Amino acid sequence: MKQIKWPLLFFAFAAASCMIGIGIAIGERSIVGAVACIVALVLVMGFGFKKKKEMREAGEL
């Protein structure tokens, strides 16, 4: 059985939350909220890919 990679799971949930936030902000017609969620999404996904690369190089994946 494979082990759960908790940091990657956290980044996946955080990115999904940002995507949900974008939808809510659009529904509320909040440009500032949508832009903030898009920026947060880019940052979260960037950190997630960086962490995955570090784990792959360390042989943890």
Whether residue 11 is contained in a domain is answered as no
Q: What is the pLDDT of residues 2-50, one digit of tens each?
A: 788 999 999 999 999 999 999 999 999 999 999 999 999 999 999 999 9
Whether residue 32 is contained in a domain is answered as yes
How many domains, the chain?
1
Task: Tell me how far CA of residue 53 lies from CA of 1, 25, 26, 35, 46, in angstroms.
Answer: 22, 31, 33, 27, 11
Q: Which residue has the higher pLDDT, 59 or 43?
A: 43
Main-chain dihedrals φ then ψ at residue 2, nearest 5 degrees: -80, 145
Domain that holds residue 29: 16-57
Whether residue 27 is contained in a domain is answered as yes
pTM for the full predicted model: 0.86
